[in-house]
Amino acid sequence: MSHSARKRVYSFACSLTFSARSSAGREWSSLDGQALITISQALITISTGSLEGWPLLAKRLLDLVGSALLLVLLAPVLLATVLLIKVTSPGPVYFVQQRLGQNKRLFRIYKFRTMVQGADQMQKALEHLNEVDGAAFKIKDDPRITPVGKLLGKTSIDELPQLFNVLKGDMSLVGPRAIVGERLRTL
């Protein structure tokens, strides 16, 4: 792989660095010598770790530009969703919840409300119907979900307000999910 080809791959990946070994045993390193992805014949290994320096800056810039662009492009969908929720069920449009982010930093996550008002208080009475173990709570036909909420959840439109969290720097477009509710108490 030529130096210019490596440079194009490197700039496309932004925050990832690349290292590959051909079947002939030749190895190519990333421009900064760090290897997050190693390809050796048919084996691929991805190493995790925190980003530092310019890769972190590039990722944040991608988050800012990406979330701002998506918010502008999806503004009609966001507005239509706000109106649908307001017209079809009483209560707030947004569901706001405390989450644990990177470096155990607490932040408020925003989602469109898909359940009836007071759904948290109704959960205790439905605990016996929980279909999953651990901190998660899932019921196949959850009676707390509104008809519009069912559509929003199925299409993942309820997640779109999280673009505001990305814009604020609470979350990233690409990365692990923020830790939810009950799990906060165990950490």
Residues 117 and 166 in one domain: yes
Residues 73 and 39 in one domain: no
Residues 41 and 59 in one domain: no
Residues 11 and 58 in one domain: no
pLDDT of residue 13: 44
Task: Tell me which residue range forms the domain holding 78.
Answer: 54-186
Select from 51, 45, 48 the least CA-distant residue to 20: 45
Select from 168, 144, 145, 176 the least CA-distant residue to 158: 145
pTM for the structure as a whole: 0.66
Instruction: Assign 3-class secondary structure to 120-138.
Output: HHHHHHHHHHCCCCCCCCC
User: CA 124 → CA 93, 117, 118, 129, distances in Å?
Assistant: 23, 15, 12, 10
Mean pLDDT value across the chain = 77
The tally of domains found in the chain comes to 2
User: CA 40 → CA 5, 23, 25, 47, 187, distances in Å?
Assistant: 19, 7, 8, 14, 38
How confident is the model over 5-54, as pLDDT tens digits? 544 444 444 334 333 433 444 444 444 444 444 444 445 555 456 667 88
